[in-house]
Structure 1
Amino acid sequence: MEHVLLLITILLCLAFSGRCIDAYSRNDFPKGFLFGSAFSAFQWEGAVDEDGRMPSIWDTYIRSNNAPSGDIACDGYHKYKEDVRLMYDMGLDAFRLSISWSRLIPGGRGPVNPKGLLFYKNLIDELTRHGIEPHVTLYHNDLPQALEDEYGGWIDRRIIDDFTAFADVCFRELGNKVKFWSTINEPNMSALGGYDLGFMPPEHCSAPFGHVNCSRGNSSTEPYIAVHNMLLAHASTARLYKQKYKGEQNGSVGMTCFSYWVVPFSSSKEDEMATQIAKDFFLGWILHPLVFGDYPDTMKRLVGKRLPSFSEEETKVVKDSSDFIGVIHYTTMTAAHVSTFQQGDFSADMNALVSPFGNSTLVKYDVLPWGLEGVLAYIKENYGNPPVYILENGQSTNHYSSLDDVERVEYLQAYIGAVLDSVRNGSKTKGYFQWSFMDLYEFLDTNYTYGLYYVNFSDPERKRSPKTSAF
């Protein structure tokens, strides 16, 4: 089967006018450039009530919405050795995984779960034994439900100390084999989905902005509060690492940003201005504090007092707190000026109508590699050209479609080429991680998955089968 799929891949390359064989090879990238893939704990592990793990906000979300169960997911908790072997056979340099906070510290704070800790030690040992560099994300949107119940999670400043204590355990117990840490996954998207529109856990929102039945929350204030606390938690964690662990472990701590590229809907001056505002809101919301210690002036002007402010001491801690920027990019959007301005939630404050470019949707993307080049150039030109890792990029296909995933092959070929062009143009991009290594539980639409390996979720064994893109 593997030989047949490899032959298909070669023929596809030839069919696409030689793009696969003419454009570039792995050797064209700088020495030390990392090629990897990724998954998150909740979407891969399963075993949600085994060995001391307690619920996260994702467990609560799924049960309250009668969504397809993530209780078993890919059963990675039991099949991790098999999966690492597949990564090794693929030739991956690195792999991005996340730690389930509610598996490691089930109550969110307090005693460490020894069985949870042993699992992550074993997983990381297995990766390093196969020569695969682990990139660890501390928080991938799966807050322990206990902290959400106690004080509302990310909308309360108590989360800063609890998150720092959780990170301390990870650094202390796992840091001897982990050199790359991402603190918080895409805080901008987590805040919009979880605290403005309400379609992600913990489903906070308020009318008329929520996309669900809003029973709690405030869409006008909570997204900004949540991101503010995430930035402070990241900065606190980064400072802890530098003061306590960096000298011995010599690792790096960074933060990720969900990074749409945005272009004007038309050539009008108003749409061009709306595009810059959208960049300030989507990218600057996260990157400005990390680089300059404060939010963009545009956001401060349009959001007003609802946007939290950094104290002088907080500015010092947040500024330059990220050793690298993790870019999460899938597609490009257009921005159009909205003639009437009325403060409300994030989208209203932005005063721009942001829509998918071309025929893209929220789950199906056109192949627009110049969008990723745009993001990387923008970071280089506006934020001091920091080290960058592309930590998520990928194409979804219907989970039940053919293993011959031509769309994904073409998408990845084009976007990896865009990364190479960006590096040649001076971007300090150090690695590319495809999302996702195998089909996972995908919250936007469970019918669409991103995996290089098909997972048969109807099979109790969760059999993995390679797609053409795996080759």
Structure 2
Amino acid sequence: MALGKTIYVAALISSFVYAVAVNNAEFTRKAFPSEFLFGVASSAYQYEGAYAEDGKGLSNWDWFSHISEGTGEINEKGVRYYNDLINELLNKGMQPFVTLCHYDIPQALEDQYGSWLNQRIADDFARYAEACFEMFGDRVKYWTTFNEPNVFIPVGYETGSYPPQRCSASLWNCSAGNSSTEPYIAGHNLLRAHAYAVDVYRRKFQADQGGFIGIVISTLWFEPLTNSSEDLEAKDRIHAFHNAWYLDPIVLGEYPTIMHKFLGTRLPTITEDLRHKLRGSFDFIGLNYYSALYATSASYLENSPPRNIYRDSLTTLTEERDGIPIGNQMYPPSMICVPYGIEKMVNYVKTRYSNPLLFLSENGFGNKGNDNLPLLQKLNDTFRVECIQNALKYLEKSIRQGADVRGYFVWSLLDNFEWVFGYTSKFGMYHIDFTDGLQRYPKLSAYWYRNFLQGKSESHTEEFLTDFTKKHAGNLNPITAEA
């Protein structure tokens, strides 16, 4: 019962979402059903640290960060850690949503057989998932297999900017890889792993444990740059290559037709046996939504190898139309707050997949940190409040239009390690002072979200800011880890 020869429970549960059912209250969200779940999201690798504590083996991100290799068996200290965490969440009235793989995997699997490029990983992942279901499934009622495979597979195997840093040398600076084939091979093996894990859960655990299982996809809304037929077709193509690449197989049992047309034999074949396991292999779908972009046709790329995902869709993307940005810039710079896109994205999924059960599993606003700012200014995140508040309004509208959305989770509770951007990108509703013992300070967004969840009046951001400033002027007390 191990991932290859390695299982370490410090990476068994890759991410948690803390969700609380909120009663109907007088506020802008009063149209949300009383059982609708609100929460915040986190990720083990991005939050926990302690990469080599209590027998934890190394992940591919530890290796990527130039830390020496280590492996180990299932660790009872790790099991105890997550049992304690799950129990404490439940004691506080919070329902954990657990993600089995949030980007990082054991480095040993990369060393042994190339991880996602080898279909052997599907069997190992299924055994790993079974261990999680067995140890924690009596209390965890919501499982997701993967978080954002349509992000970590392309950046790992197309651009090489994430582990395992594979790509075509002629495109990017990698020592090995093939950007035109490996993203699709790795993605195919990931879909196989998802299907196997869902099959194990449904056959062995679901009836007794009464839980639900799904997957989380990163979504981007795409608008045509112009109303030309070429740009409208480009918009449809990039939706297929980004948003439907994983969802079509899981819901419909096959890759998008346009991907077959443009990729030919570079797109792996879904066998009848795999199709049987893949089709309908979800109880819910999680959508992470942050951004939107304009799409324009790039047919000139058709005969310009080598290929990658965006070249394959014959599409280029831009943040502006006629010099006007599509939304408010975030950090990382590739992310832009476009709240209306959340409604359009939900309706796209509702229409394409016959209104599946959905959770908005991540949404938020990232800004670039500035250590030189006064503390009060660091906590004054009106931009985050406005982005989240507007996103919730569009989400509520999509529910009124009939979308079966059951919950919404903010990314993130705390400022944390944002992958290749390290600690420079701030998504948290709590500021972490890394120079003073990791002291925590609630930002304006934390107070706003609390008031929102408590059903208090629909105050404008300025009113929250006034109250916030009065409350904290000369009295900026941290919330300690013990609080």
TM-score class, shorter-chain normalisation, is 0.7 to 0.9
1:279 pairs with 2:239: yes
| Partner residue, 1:352 | 315
Q: C-alpha distance in 1, partners of 2:360/2:91?
A: 24
Counterpart amino acid of residue 182 in structure 1 = T
Q: CA deviation at 1:256?
A: 1.1
Per the TM alignment, residue 63 of structure 1 is displaced from its structure 2 partner at its CA by: 2.1
Which stretch of the first structure deviates more once superposed, 427-436 or 198-207?
Answer: 198-207
Task: Tell me the equivalent position of 1:452.
Answer: 429
- Contact kept? 1:24, 1:417, Cα under 8 Å: no
Q: Residue 433 of structure 1 aligns with which residue?
A: 409
Distance in structure 1 (CA, Å) of the matches to 2:336 and 2:186: 31
After TM superposition, list the pairs within 5 Å mapping 1:135-214 onto structure 2: 135-210=97-172, 213-214=173-174
* Alignment correspondent of 1:416: 392
Pick from 290, 304, 326: which aligns with 1:330? Answer: 290
Q: Kindly provide the amino acid, as one letter, of the partner of residue 365 in structure 2.
A: Q
1:366 CA drift (Å): 4.3
For residue 383 of structure 1, report the CA deviation from its aligned partner: 0.7
* Structure 1 residue matching 2:296: 3-state secondary structure: strand
Residue 401 of structure 2 aligns with an amino acid whose one-letter code is N
Q: Where does residue 28 of structure 1 map in the other structure?
A: 31
Give SS of 2:52's match: coil
User: SS of the counterpart of 2:215?
Assistant: strand
SS of 1:29's partner is coil
User: Could you tell me whether the CA contact under 8 Å between 1:127 and 1:133 is conserved in 2?
Assistant: yes
- State the distance in 2 between where 1:190 and 1:442 align: 13
Size of the aligned set, in residue pairs, is 406
2:57 counterpart residue number: 54
CA contact (8 A) 1:367 1:414 kept: no
Question: Which residue in the other structure is 1:63 paired with?
Answer: 66
> Which protein is richer in helix relative to its size?
1
- Give, in whole Å, the separation in 2 of the partners of 1:305 and 1:115: 47
Corresponding residue of 2:210: 250
For 1:127 and 1:399, how far apart are their aligned partners in 2? 30
C-alpha contact 2:216 2:286 (8 A) present in aligned 1: yes
Alignment of 1:288-367 (within 5 A): 288-340=248-300, 341-342=302-303, 344-356=307-319, 358=325, 360=329, 363-364=332-333, 365-367=335-337
Q: Deviations over 1:125-171 (max 9, x none)?
A: 11001000000000001110000111111110010011011101100
Q: Deviations over 1:95-145 (max 9, x none)?
A: xxxxxxx99xx55xxx41111111111111110010000000000011100
Runs of 4 or more consecutive aligned structure 1 residues displaced over 3 Å after TM superposition:
22-27, 359-362, 364-367
Q: Is the 2:287–2:361 Cα contact (8 Å) retained in structure 1?
A: yes
Q: Which amino acid aligns with 2:115?
A: G
Q: Which amino acid aligns with 1:457?
A: F
State how far apart, in whole Å, the 1-side matches of 2:197 and 2:384 are: 36
Residues 396-418 of structure 1: CA deviation (Å, up to 9, x unaligned): 12223521101101101001111
* Amino acid aligned to 2:140: V
Give the structure 2 partner of residue 216 of structure 1: 176
How do 1:84-163 and structure 2 match up within 5 A? 106-107=71-72, 111-163=73-125
Per the normalisation by structure 1, the TM-score is 0.83
Aligned to 2:362: 392
Q: Deviations over 1:175-227 (max 9, x none)?
A: 011010010111111111111011111111112333xx201111111110111
Instruction: State the Cα distance separating 1:441 from its structure 2 match.
Output: 0.5
Provide the alpha-carbon RMSD of the alignment: 1.9
TM-score for both structures, normalised by structure 2: 0.81
